[in-house]
Amino acid sequence: MSDCLFCNIVDGTIPAEIVYEDKQVVAFRDLNPQAPLHVLLIPKKHIATLNDLESEDNAVMGALILAAKKVAEAEGVAESGYRTVINCGEQAGQSVYHIHLHLLAGRQMQWPPG
């Protein structure tokens, strides 16, 4: 989708610091990091929110989680721990309507989240 910020990162028209890419997934550093490590992982396919997932998206969402594991290992936080978050909709604080998984690490996380 040409008017989607994250689709534009996928196709390279908007620059981002990409840390991982495979056939289905791109991962890049968040512009406004909330932890020493803050990476966003997105499917290359445009899917607006978790509510828009279809059964055919099973594989790409699996790939997204596996990619998070690989990024955590590559960034050296797999053992110390990391948090993954997918915000869905307004009350969850979703601001970009292309599914993205936040991978946050490098500090002690709190629970419950704010």
Contact of 29 with 79, CB cutoff 8 Å: no
Binding status of residue 7 toward ligand DGP by CB under 6 A: no
Residue of the chain from 11, 74, 80, 95 that contacts ligand DGP (CB under 6 A): 95
Where does this chain touch ligand DGP (CB under 6 A) — which range of 26-34, 52-60, 66-74, 105-113? 26-34
Quote the CA–CA distance of 77 and 27 in Å, as a whole number.
16
Q: Is 46 a catalytic site residue?
A: no
Beta carbon of residue 69, minimum distance to ligand DGP (angstroms, whole number): 20
Is residue 1 part of the contact set for ligand DGP (CB under 6 A)?
Answer: no
Asked whether position 4 contacts ligand DGP by CB under 6 A, the answer is no
Instruction: Rule CB under 6 A: say whether 12 interacts with ligand DGP.
Output: no
What 8-state DSSP symbol labels residue 7?
H
Residue 8, class by beta-carbon neighbours within 10 Å (0-12 exposed, 13-18 middle, 19+ buried)? middle
Asked whether the beta carbons of 42 and 5 are under 8 A apart, the reply is no
Measured from the CB atom, the residue of 31 and 79 that comes closer to ligand DGP is 31
Tokens of 28: 């890049």
Other beta carbons within 10 angstroms of residue 42's beta carbon come to 23
Binding footprint of ligand DGP on the chain (CB under 6 A): 5, 14, 16, 28-32, 40, 87, 93-96
